[in-house]
A and B are shown apart, each in its own frame.
Chain A
Amino acid sequence: MAELVGFSHFAGKMDMGSTEPLFAYGWHSQQGAYQGPPGPRPVFVRQAHFVEVEVDPETGEVEIVRIANANDVGKAINPDAVQGQQYGGAVMGVSRVRTEDVVYCPATGVVLNGNLIDYKINTMLDCGPIDAIIIETGMGYGPYGAVGIGEDVATMAPYAFYAAVHNALGEWVDLPATPEKVLKALGKI
């Protein structure tokens, strides 16, 4: 275990030929053969996510109008599987911040919504159209320069949603952005 942690720690500091992340301009390259030690290989993924929302000021409902994901996967060896990850990650990601919430009873601490009716996972009808865009630059260490796409989209989509709600309301609301919190932010209750 210690060995593994040591490796990853070391690997994290490896010179990957990358720049510091920049908001204005940046680049990195990880093409070519992997030069680091054996063990976990840190791989940079490049992606951009866009979420467009509409907030209903009367009910506090946040409707997702459109989602666009662009993922640089190096090389899409199975494009359908890559897009599957993009759709799934987008739905899962926005669902987490739009409606999903484990509700504990404030008086007893018992979980009240331990089922799939009351724990509200969004459906495809709640996410609007999703543009899944695959970028192939061959930047990875995998075959043909491929990198993974596993958890990328679901980790990024929530924050694009969060920013979109802020952009609509002019206020940051706690997540998930339920009607109650949105109406509070709007001063309606």
Chain B
Amino acid sequence: MKNFAHVNARSLDEAAAALRRYGKRAAVIAGGTDLLGKMKDEILPVYPEALVNIKTIPGLDSIACKNGSLSIGALARLEDIAADEVVKRDFCALAEAARRAASTHLREMGTIGGNICQDIRCWYYRNPNNRFPCLRKGGGRCYAIDGDNRYHSIFGGSVEKGCYAVHPSDIAPALVALDASIKTTRRTIKAEDFFQVSVTKTTVLDDDEIVALIEVPPPAGRSSFVKFALRKAIDFPIVNCAAMISMSQNKVASARICLNAVFVTPYRAAEAEKAMAGKAMTEADAEAAGAAAVSAARPMTHNAYMVPVAKAMVKRAILGCAD
């Protein structure tokens, strides 16, 4: 690990000013569970010269519910979100996503803001000492295309022959399914527009923009989150899925279904949502919606198995919303 400057920000404005001062050579740190690992392994060609610590900003870790809407500060830790009684009761998908993310230690450190801004886990990108200078590091190609891509995208790359790494967050699909908005220092962005299909960044945030608050409107119906990973106590998802379904007269009135870890950004399963509209919540309906969700899948050389897994996750997330 190389030396770096460390700036304790007392307000979001001060943090943004510090980021502007260092240009692209600074990074925001809160829990640091993603950033410090990246720095220790020296996977980046350009090392951050400064870390802007936002943990010192007071009041940014609140979890509050007002008139049915939830607002969560960017510094709220995943463990606190998972344990919050209101979140557990009314925003099941979010509580379950927070509970299933990472391990107990990481959930005690990691924040919700950091979770949605985290970097990709591609093992070519993350190989120590920058061994694979891939597209994301300004190199010429994606090594996963010809390599082992068992944990890569099944819905194509950022562009053809672009970056095929998946978005690894558990929280992100829950926020998309719950139709949350993300308030930054500059604007308010819908959760599904927050993530960027790009080889340089995972979010649409500007270099000096910081996530401040996550706002979840009153849920339209029951929500659920399911995750498939090889291990239970700690793991990034192979596929996860969040769904929120509202019913009227025993028929599906509206459905929001979002898969993650299958594409460069969280993948809204619009086909599955269409397939569920007006249906009863039977197992056959959910199964058909699962098949619809993966109808556009174009798996790579090693990840065809993710297609039936994604199908099963959509089905189970839908059935998880049933009473």
Contact = CB atoms under 8 A, between A and B. Distances in A.
Interface of A: 56, 58-61, 99, 103-108, 110, 112-115, 117-118, 120, 122-126, 178-180, 183-184, 188-189
Contacts of B232: 123, 125-126
Given A123-B234, A126-B231, A178-B230, A107 B305 contact: no
Contact of A106 (B147, B231, B315): B147
B147 A105 contact: yes
A117 B127 CA distance: 12
Contact of A117 (B233, B236, B304): B236
A104 B123 CA distance: 11
Given A105-B148, A123-B233, A125-B232, A189 B304 contact: yes
B124 interface: yes
A106 to B, nearest CB: 6
Given A58-B312, A60-B309, A123 B146 contact: no
Nearest to B151: A118
Given A59-B312, A117-B235, 17 more contacts: A58-B309, A60-B309, A105-B143, A105-B148, A106-B148, A107-B147, A112-B124, A114-B128, A120-B230, A123-B232, A126-B232, A126-B233, A179-B228, A180-B150, A180-B302, A180-B305, A189-B308
Interface of B: 41, 121, 123-124, 127-128, 131-132, 143, 146-148, 150, 228, 230-236, 238, 302, 304-305, 307-309, 311-313, 315
A108 B133 CA distance: 13
The 9 A-B pairs at the shortest CB distance, nearest first, are namely A123-B233, A58-B312, A125-B232, A180-B305, A112-B123, A125-B233, A105-B147, A107-B146, A189-B304
Contacts of B309: 58-60, 179
Nearest to A113: B123
A120 B307 contact: no
A189 B305 contact: yes
A176 to B, nearest CB: 9
A58 B230 contact: no
A56 B308 CA distance: 11
Contacts of B304: 180, 189
B123 A188 contact: no
Nearest to B102: A117
